[in-house]
C-alpha cells in the first residue's frame, strides 16, 4: 500500500453542480482522493452513518483513486466500506439500495467521469439517503474539507479504524433486470454500442438473458482509452458506427451507452437518431393509458414536441431543471412514474426502482417493439415536429459562466419576453424558444433553440447567440 499525503488548497472548481470532477493528474490525484476520503468519512459519521458503498468505472485512473479514497475513509473512523470494485453507475445505485440498512439508500461514492474525455475522473457522491449530492450540498462539503484539512494534518488517525468488505452486486442486479422486463413474441435484432466503457462488463450478459433479442455487440470490449469514439451517445457524431451497423445488419434498433452506463442514445431502423425527448414520447404512448398519475417529468432542454404529446395523451407536462441529481431527486420526492432528460438519462419508477440505466432503458424500448409489428420510427407517427438545434456548447470559464447567463436573463426581461428561469433562462415565444444555461459539469455555457419553421429557428438563434457573443 502506497503512502498518501493530505492535500491543502484543493482546486475549488472541481466541486461542481452534480459531482466532484477534474482532470486526473492536474485537478485530481490519489492524495486528493485520500484527503476527500478522510473528510467524507468524518462528514457522514457526523450525520450518524457508519457504512458506505464505493464503486468505480473502467477508467485507468479509477482503481488507484478507489484505493486512496477507501484508505482515507478507513482512517476517518469506525466505518464499514462496501467495495463493489468495477461496476456501472446503475449497479452502484442498486447496491446503495440493496445494502441500505433499512434506509432509503446507503451513502456512497461512485468514482467516474461519466461521458467526459479519458483524462477526466471524479466522484458522484452521496452523504445520506437523499441520493447524489448536488448544488449546495456539494459546496457545503467543499467548505467542510477546506475547514478541516489543517486539523486533519495535525491529528493522528482515529484509534478506531474502519474496515472494508468486498461485494459482487452483478448477479442480484441481473436478477432485478430479468424480473422487470417482459418481452413479447416478436424477435428483435439490436445493435448495442457500449463505446468500450464500463457497460462493456455487463451488457452482453444482460441482453443475452432474453431469447427474443438477437444481440449485435459493438465496441463491447472494456478499454479506458475509448479508442473507437467518445463515450457520449447524446452527440450524434459519436453514433456514426452505430448507425452504420444498424443499416448493415438490418437491425430493428441501435442502442448507444455512455462511459459509466447511465445514459442512452437511440437509433431507429433507418439509421436516424431518436433524441431522448422523442424516445420519451414512445414511452409515454405506451405507459400513459396504463397509469392513473398522468404527470410527466422532463428537463428544460426538451422539445415542445414532448409537452404537446403529453397533453394529447391526457397527461400533465412538468418541466424541471437539468441534471441527473436534480431530476432523480424530483422523481423520488414527487413519485413520478417516468422522467427524461435530453442528455440521455431516463428514469422508470414503475416496476423499476428509479435508476437511470442506459442498458435497461434500451430493454424497455425493445419490450415495446416486441409487442408490436411496427418499426421503431413509426412509433413516432403523428408527433408534432419543430425545428431545433442540438445542444450547443460554448466555451467559457467557471468564474464567468453564471455571470454571462444572468446577463442573458436581464436581456430577456428587458425585451419583455416570457421566461422560465428554473435552470438558466428559457425565453418562450409563440414561434419557438431559446435556452441559455451554465453547464454544471464543465467551464461551458450550453444553449439550445427551437422554432416552428427553419426561418423562425434561425431568427431566435441569431438573436440570442449575438447577445452571447458580446458577453463572452
Q: Is 230 a catalytic residue?
A: no
Any idea which residue has 437523499 for its cell? 130
For β-strands 163-166 and 338-340, DSSP reports them as unpaired
Q: Is 285 a catalytic residue?
A: no
Q: Is 114 a catalytic residue?
A: yes
Q: Which of 21, 59, 115, 448 is catalytic?
A: 21
Contact 258, 115 (CB under 8 A): yes
Residues in the chain: 472
Q: Strand (E) positions, 62-200? A: 80-86, 108-111, 120-126, 163-166, 188-193
Q: Which of 114, 224, 303, 396 is catalytic?
A: 114
Query: What is the distance between the alpha carbons of residues 374 and 6, in angstroms, rounded to a whole number?
Result: 59
Residues 6 or more apart in contact with residue 422 via CB below 8 angstroms: 300, 319, 320, 321
Of the candidates 206, 339, 346, 200, the residue with the CA atom closest to the CA atom of residue 260: 200
DSSP notation for 183-246: --SS-EEEEEE-TTSGGGGTHHHHHTT-TTEEEEEES-S--TT--SS-S-TTSGGGGHHHHHHH
Quick one: CA torsion of 396, 278, 377, 282, rounded to 10 degrees? 150
Q: Which of 345, 364, 426, 448 is catalytic?
A: 345
> Could you give the residue numbers annotated as active site?
21, 114, 345
Amino acid at each position: 500500500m502506497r503512502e498518501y499525503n493530505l492535500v491543502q488548497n484543493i482546486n475549488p472548481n472541481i466541486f461542481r453542480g452534480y459531482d466532484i470532477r477534474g482532470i486526473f493528474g492536474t485537478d485530481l490525484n490519489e492524495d486528493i482522493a485520500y484527503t476527500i476520503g478522510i473528510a467524507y468519512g468524518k462528514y457522514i459519521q457526523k450525520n450518524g452513518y457508519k457504512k458506505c458503498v464505493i464503486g468505480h468505472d473502467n477508467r485507468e485512473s479509477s482503481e488507484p483513486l478507489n484505493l486512496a479514497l477507501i484508505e482515507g475513509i478507513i482512517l476517518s473512523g469506525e466505518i464499514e466500506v462496501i467495495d463493489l470494485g468495477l461496476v456501472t453507475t446503475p449497479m452502484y445505485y442498486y447496491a446503495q439500495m440493496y445494502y441500505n440498512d433499512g434506509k432509503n439508500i446507503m451513502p456512497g461514492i461512485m468514482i467516474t467521469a461519466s461521458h467526459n474525455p479519458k483524462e477526466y475522473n471524479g466522484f458522484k457522491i452521496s452523504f445520506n439517503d437523499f441520493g447524489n449530492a448536488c448544488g449546495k450540498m456539494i459546496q457545503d462539503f467543499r467548505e467542510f474539507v477546506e475547514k478541516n484539512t489543517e486539523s486533519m494534518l495535525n491529528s493522528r488517525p482515529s484509534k478506531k479504524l474502519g474496515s472494508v468488505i468486498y461485494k459482487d452486486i452483478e448477479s442480484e442486479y441481473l436478477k432485478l433486470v430479468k424480473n422487470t422486463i417482459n418481452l413479447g413474441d416478436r424477435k428483435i435484432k439490436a445493435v448495442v454500442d457500449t463505446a468500450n466503457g464500463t457497460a462493456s462488463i455487463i451488457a452482453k450478459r444482460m441482453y443475452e438473458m432474453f431469447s427474443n433479442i438477437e444481440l449485435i455487440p459493438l465496441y463491447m470490449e472494456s478499454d479506458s482509452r475509448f479508442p473507437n469514439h467518445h463515450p457520449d451517445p447524446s452527440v450524434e457524431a459519436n453514433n456514426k458506427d452505430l448507425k452504420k451497423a444498424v443499416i448493415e445488419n438490418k437491425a430493428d434498433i441501435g442502442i448507444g451507452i455512455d462511459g459509466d452506463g447511465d445514459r442512452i442514445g437511440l437509433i431507429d431502423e433507418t439509421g436516424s437518431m431518436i433524441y431522448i425527448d422523442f424516445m420519451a414520447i414512445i414511452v409515454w404512448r405506451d405507459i400513459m393509458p396504463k397509469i392513473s398519475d398522468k404527470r410527466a417529468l422532463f428537463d428544460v432542454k426538451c422539445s415542445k414536441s414532448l409537452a404537446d404529446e403529453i397533453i394529447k395523451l391526457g397527461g400533465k407536462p412538468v418541466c424541471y431543471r437539468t441534471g441527473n441529481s436534480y431530476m432523480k431527486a424530483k422523481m423520488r420526492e414527487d413519485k413520478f412514474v417516468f422522467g427524461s432528460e435530453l442528455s440521455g438519462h431516463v428514469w422508470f419508477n414503475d416496476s423499476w426502482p428509479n435508476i437511470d440505466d442506459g442498458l435497461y432503458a434500451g430493454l424497455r424500448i425493445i419490450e415495446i417493439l416486441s409487442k408490436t409489428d411496427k418499426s421503431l420510427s413509426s412509433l413516432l407517427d403523428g408527433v408534432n415536429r419543430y425545428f431545433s438545434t442540438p445542444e450547443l456548447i460554448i466555451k467559457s470559464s467557471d468564474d464567468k459562466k453564471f455571470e454571462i447567463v444572468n446577463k442573458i436573463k436581464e436581456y430577456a426581461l428587458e425585451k419583455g419576453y416570457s421566461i422560465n428561469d428554473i435552470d438558466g433562462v428559457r425565453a418562450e415565444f409563440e414561434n419557438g424558444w431559446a435556452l441559455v444555461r451554465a453547464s454544471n459539469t464543465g467551464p461551458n455555457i450550453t444553449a439550445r433553440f427551437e422554432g416552428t419553421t427553419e426561418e423562425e429557428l434561425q431568427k431566435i438563434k441569431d438573436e440570442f447567440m449575438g447577445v452571447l457573443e458580446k458577453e463572452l
